[in-house]
Chains A and B, each alone.
Chain A
Amino acid sequence: MTTATAVAPTAAHLDPRRREKTAAVARRCLTRVATAVLVLLGAATVVFGVQALMPGDRATLLLNTSTGQAVERTEAELAPINARYGFDEPLVVQYLSFVGGLVRGDLGTSYQLHSPVTEVIVEQLVPTVQLAGGALVVAWLISLVTVLLTAGRGRTVTALGSGLEALSASLPHYWLGVILLVVFAVHLRWFPVMGGSDLATSVLPVLTLAIPLAGFLGQATRDEFERVLQQPFVTSARARGMSETGVRLRHVLRHAVIPPITLSGWALGALLSGAVIVESVFSRPGLGQVLVSAVNARDLPVVAGVVVFVALVYVVANVLVDLAYTAVDPRRRAA
């Protein structure tokens, strides 16, 4: 890695070398995308496998779920269901039609809502994306500001900053959400207690989701930030008369954001899991609510569809993070 850093600036101007490097980057991207597709196929297989392992008869479950009953069914009742959904086909055939459906964007039909799962997901996607996206931005802001202000500023301030991060990282969403609700909605009445997904009702859910994540991101940033503060180039920037704020913003920050960027792919998964709970705490519409009610009703196609969809988002996000990482850190381009 160190040799690559030394070579990179001069090599960038030489044409053949540069072409070689572009080819290497393209190869890297291709391999990454191919692995991602394989991982997704694996994920779909797991989801199918878990469903196939389900105890009891699926046709009975389907009938009972769609009619809201819990009774034994006769052969005559079950036969048309089995034929229509292909439950009596061999597993291999069922698997192939499941995967084939996924490729075409067809996730099956909800037992409970009687509409295509893809439609259900698309309808509920917007509020969840707003929630998770808002939380990601807020979490980055909180963690960067805390680290910039408290890292390497003497024992007490540093201990205060890292203590806050450790505390917020360990707060479960359901508890934090409830506390924010009790304090800011019930007692201070600054925000509505429950409701839709407009701006006023979004403040508390976004904060609930953002605060624990900010703790995690902050811990990762802080460690790297303090390490970079010791580096020779920081000393040399200071020696040139650069202000402390300038050094922190221009030199240290750029290095310190690399660990949290790698974490951001994981963070997205954490945000989507968290969204399930946060939407439930604040009775907010979204994918999480759809998932929870589907799990409670044992509406398998919806549960499987949402899980596959989230796996897709998660995998794509991790590919993007990997590529973003390459963009921020020039050393990775040569590798």
Chain B
Amino acid sequence: MTTTTRTGRTRLPRGRARHPGVVPVVSVAVLTFVAVAALQPALLTSGDPTAIQLARALQPPSFAHLLGTDQSGRDLYTRIVYGARESLTIGLGATALAMGIAVLLGFLAGLGGRVVDRLVGAALEVTFAFPVMLLALLLVAVRGPSSTTLIIAVGVGSAPGYARMVRGQVLAVRQEAYVEAACALGHGRARVVAQHVFPNAVRPLLALFTLGIGQSIVWASGLAFLGMGVAPPAAEWGALLEAGRMYITHAWWLEVMPGLAIVLVAVAATSLGRTLQKSLEGADR
């Protein structure tokens, strides 16, 4: 058991494994806060994200403006809270798209026989020749910048990695004794796949999905930071970063705070995903 643990979960940081209680709770708290911000931003702030007050422009963080104000005197905290919806939608959308493509390709490769497996394998090998960011930039160049483009770019870019994992999962589940038993009982192929292979191959993806959201938000904000995202005033976090770049020498908070929001959500999603991964692996053994 110890050896399996060591080889199977090498990516788990040790410190975290010893305190399973605190980190997931903090992660869930961060994600809940952001989810509320996305659904009902008015619950978390009484301000208006577009209220321009030139007299209060570029003020550093204070009690009146927790995270400071931007060049038009708009409250940065309010803008970040209202930006959560756009950022989360892009993150969730891109991850869902990536997972959808991955499940389709993974099952095709895992169940479609040798030739299909080879073909899908070759296609994946080719997409691995592009770093995700570059594939995404190519798509933005072709489609022009918009939220939908960001979702498609990040989703398509990160799908091959997941597809490879799904394929491996399908192949592993196919070897399991319960699948063999179901086949021996004379159940049809479609029924075995639907009842046994699909649920067991897809369950670990739940953890992967959570991990993926963090990564997608980071990538999408990166693209938005390069000026390829949503036009203002839809204040997606990456777009906030991009807007603050001009003021970096005298208003550090405009860059640091939206970035902090991205990092917090990414780290929370990642660590929650790892906790899920660990508990799912534990349930399998």
Interface on A for B, CB 8 Å cutoff? 35, 38-40, 42-43, 45-47, 50-51, 53-55, 158-159, 162-163, 165-166, 170-175, 178-179, 181-182, 186, 193, 219, 223, 227, 269-270, 272-274, 276-277, 280-281, 291-292, 294-296, 298-300, 303-304, 306-307, 310-311, 314-315
Contacts and interface: CB of A to CB of B under 8 A. Distances in A.
Contacts of B248: 178, 181-182, 186, 193
25 contacts: A38-B122, A42-B122, A43-B130, A46-B130, A54-B143, A55-B143, A162-B14, A165-B13, A170-B266, A172-B263, A174-B241, A175-B255, A175-B259, A175-B262, A178-B241, A178-B248, A182-B248, A186-B248, A193-B249, A273-B131, A276-B133, A276-B226, A292-B137, A295-B228, A296-B227
Given A39-B129, A298-B141, A170 B134 contact: no
A214 to B, nearest CB: 15
Contacts of A219: 11, 13
Contacts of B194: none
Contacts of B139: 50
Contacts of B131: 269-270, 272-273, 310, 314
B11 to A, nearest CB: 7
Given A186-B252, A273-B131, A54 B263 contact: no
A35 B262 CA distance: 39
B262 A47 contact: no
B225 interface: yes
Contacts of B238: 174
Given A174-B225, A269-B131, A43 B252 contact: no
B144 to A, nearest CB: 7
B255 A42 contact: no
A186 B254 CA distance: 14
Nearest to B135: A307
B223 to A, nearest CB: 9
Interface string B92-130: 000000000000000000000000000000110111011
B142 A50 contact: yes
B141 A280 contact: no
A171 B215 CA distance: 11
Given A174-B225, A175-B256, 20 more contacts: A38-B122, A39-B125, A42-B125, A51-B142, A54-B143, A159-B15, A162-B13, A162-B14, A172-B218, A172-B259, A178-B255, A179-B256, A179-B259, A193-B249, A227-B6, A277-B222, A291-B134, A291-B137, A295-B137, A295-B226
Nearest to A314: B129
Interface string B197-220: 000000000000000000000100
A315 B259 contact: no
A223 B5 CA distance: 12
Nearest to B225: A174
A139 B193 CA distance: 45
The main secondary structure of chain A at its interface with chain B is: helix
Interface of B: 6, 10-11, 13-15, 122-123, 125-127, 129-135, 137-144, 218, 221-222, 225-228, 238, 241, 245, 248-249, 252, 255-256, 259-260, 262-263, 266-267, 270
Contact of B228 (A54, A55, A296, A299): A296
Contact of A39 (B11, B126, B255): B126
Contacts of A173: 222
A314 B125 CA distance: 12
A86 B199 CA distance: 50
Most chain B CB within a 10 A radius of its CB, from A35, A295, A303: A295
A271 to B, nearest CB: 9
B255 to A, nearest CB: 4
A302 to B, nearest CB: 9
Given A182-B252, A295-B228, A175 B138 contact: no
Contacts of B142: 50-51, 53-54, 300
What are the 6 tightest A-B residue pairs by CB atom distance, in nearest-first order? A42-B126, A273-B133, A175-B259, A269-B131, A159-B15, A273-B131
Nearest to B157: A273
Contact of B138 (A40, A47, A166): A47
Most chain B CB within a 10 A radius of its CB, from A174, A179, A276: A174
Most chain A CB within a 10 A radius of its CB, from B123, B135, B226: B226
Contacts of B144: 298
Contacts of B15: 159, 162-163
A51 B125 CA distance: 20
Most chain B CB within a 10 A radius of its CB, from A39, A158, A270: A39
A280 B225 contact: yes
Contacts of B252: 182, 186
B130 A172 contact: no
B92 to A, nearest CB: 18
A13 B225 CA distance: 59
Nearest to B249: A186
A88 B221 CA distance: 38
B141 A178 contact: no
A208 to B, nearest CB: 13
Contacts of A181: 248
A35 B127 CA distance: 14
A143 to B, nearest CB: 15
Contacts of A223: 10-11
Contacts of A50: 138-139, 142
A291 to B, nearest CB: 6
B13 A172 contact: no
Contacts of B141: 294-295, 298-300, 303
